[in-house]
Amino acid sequence: MKLPIIVLPLLPSTWAYTTLSNSTLVSSSISSPRDSSISHLDPASLLSRILIPRVPGTPGHASVQSHLVEFARTKLHGDWVVEWHNSTSKTPATGDKEVPFQNLVLRRDPPWVSARAKEDRGDTGRLVLAAHYDSLYKPEGFVGAVDSAVPCAMLMEVLRGVDEGLTRMWEKEGTENGGNDGLDPEKGVMVLLLDGEEAWVSWGEDDSLYGSRALAETWENTKYENGNHFDGPLQAISLFVLLDLLGAAGPTVPSYFEKTHWAYENMARIEQRMRGLGVLETKPKTPFLYEAEKQEWFQRGYIQDDHVPFMRRGVDILHIIPTPFPGVWHTMDDDAAHLDVSTIRDWTRIVTAFVAEWMDLEGYMPENEAKGDGGNEAESRYPEKDEL
């Protein structure tokens, strides 16, 4: 069915964005991300399992892939669709060999949409969160902690952080209203763990962004049949949030794009509010997201990263990457020893709250429970940053 076009004020970007209450920020599960996902100090954590060389096509790469999939299968309880998008390419370092580049795609749409059609039919606009999981080919042994093991582990923990809230909200909406009337697009969440971001020899159009280039091209050529609201998966991206080079202490992330500054402001406001409420552990002189008040938009170069193939195709981008880059960038020092666990936890809290606001989860977030693998584990094990 194609609905008639009704002229409405088009506010896709700000539609029904619900601010979280103080008590949700303080005492829901948002305030205590799990170290078993994101702490390099826990040798069994997801992050520790990603912190190995993972050059595409190598055993380390395959091992990381299986840990990511296993996390999705065992730690996420909602109806997440987990799919691979695979391609191959030659690289300047590997001659005639076709190197595999395999993006992992996780998405969750409202249950009544999933029930209507197993396939994606263009009913749902998605908040997309992305990071790359491959590591540099050289120097040998490089583990890419901020680049981008930490963002990948964080995104998995963010999904875990909103999983139960989504279930509760959609159960209630499904019961009360039988779901949506189909007039408005639904809202869903997607995580892209992208492959082949790194250049093999030197950065250029043909040597970098292997996974994201292939995915953006595939999606550009995919059209929904009988799409209700969106023509294809690219149009169904409401916002593409790319995380990169996070996990070192003292990050400063500018607002790169005027077009999505409203989204940056929302995330920055979450950081400010969480700092005011004492939810965050770090006490930086400059906030992580320090440009909420930005007024002047000079022509500024943007950083080449996985968003580019999507941005060129008209997708709105929020790029969460520090300027300047962490000092360890692309050196052997980009390892566990140079991470700051408080900063990682604070980023996870901020991004989880951002997703919860986007998805209107106020009133549905589970309590922060101080037991088992959840709850206050973080606080009790690592009470003060100084003690580490």
Ligand X SMILES: *[C@@H]1O[C@H](CO)[C@@H](O)[C@H](O)[C@H]1NC(C)=O
User: In the stretch 15-44, what mask flags binding to ligand X with x, by CB under 6 A?
Assistant: -------x----------------------
Can you tell me the distance from the alpha carbon of 122 to that of 101, in angstroms, rounded to the nearest whole number?
A: 26
User: Encoding tokens for residue 93?
Assistant: 């370092």
Q: In 3D, which of 321, 304, 264 has the Cα closest to residue 148?
A: 321
Q: How far is the CB of 279 from ligand X (least distance, A)?
A: 10
Q: How far is the CB of 141 from Zn ion (least distance, A)?
A: 15
Is 244 a catalytic site residue? yes
CB-nearer residue toward Zn ion: 147 or 186: 147
Q: How far is the CB of 68 from ligand X (least distance, A)?
A: 10
Can you tell me the distance from the alpha carbon of 269 to that of 144, in angstroms, rounded to the nearest whole number?
A: 29
Residues near 26 by Cβ (< 8 Å), separated by ≥ 6? 277, 278, 279
Per-residue CA distances from 200 to 96, 114, 197, 206 (Å):
14, 39, 9, 10
Count of residues that interact with Zn ion, criterion CB under 5 A: 1
Q: How far is the CB of 350 from ligand X (least distance, A)?
A: 16
Does position 302 bind ligand X by CB under 6 A? no
Of residues 16, 84, 141, 363, which one binds ligand X by CB under 6 A? 84
Q: Which span (140-148, 203-211, 288-296, 305-313) binds Zn ion, by CB under 5 A?
A: 140-148
Does position 352 bind ligand X by CB under 6 A? no
Q: How far is the CB of 352 from ligand X (least distance, A)?
A: 18
Can you tell me the distance from the alpha carbon of 378 to that of 372, in angstroms, rounded to the nearest whole number?
A: 11
Residue 147 near which of Zn ion, ligand X, none (CB within 5-8 Å, type-dependent): Zn ion
Q: How far is the CB of 329 from Zn ion (least distance, A)?
A: 7
Q: Which span (7-15, 144-152, 167-175, 356-364) binds Zn ion, by CB under 5 A?
A: 144-152
Of residues 109, 120, 134, 147, which one binds Zn ion by CB under 5 A? 147
H or E element at residue 302: none
User: Counting beta carbons within 10 angstroms of the beta carbon of residue 210, is it exposed (0 to 12), middle (13 to 18) or buried (19 or more)?
Assistant: buried
Can you tell me the distance from the alpha carbon of 266 to that of 127, in angstroms, rounded to the nearest whole number?
A: 14
Residue 277 near which of Zn ion, ligand X, none (CB within 5-8 Å, type-dependent): ligand X
CB-nearer residue toward ligand X: 22 or 376: 22
Per-residue CA distances from 246 to 216, 231, 328 (Å):
24, 34, 11
Residues 117-146 that bind ligand X (CB under 6 A): none
What beta strand segments (E) does the chain contain?
A: 81-89, 99-108, 124-132, 186-194, 237-243, 317-320
Does position 363 bind ligand X by CB under 6 A? no
Can you tell me the distance from the alpha carbon of 291 to that of 171, in angstroms, rounded to the nearest whole number?
A: 38
Count of residues that interact with ligand X, criterion CB under 6 A: 7
β-partners of residue 319 are 242
Q: Which of 197, 306, 340, 360 is catalytic?
A: 197
Give the active site residues. 197, 244
Which residues in this chain contact ligand X in the complex, by CB under 6 A? 22, 65, 84, 86, 102, 276-277
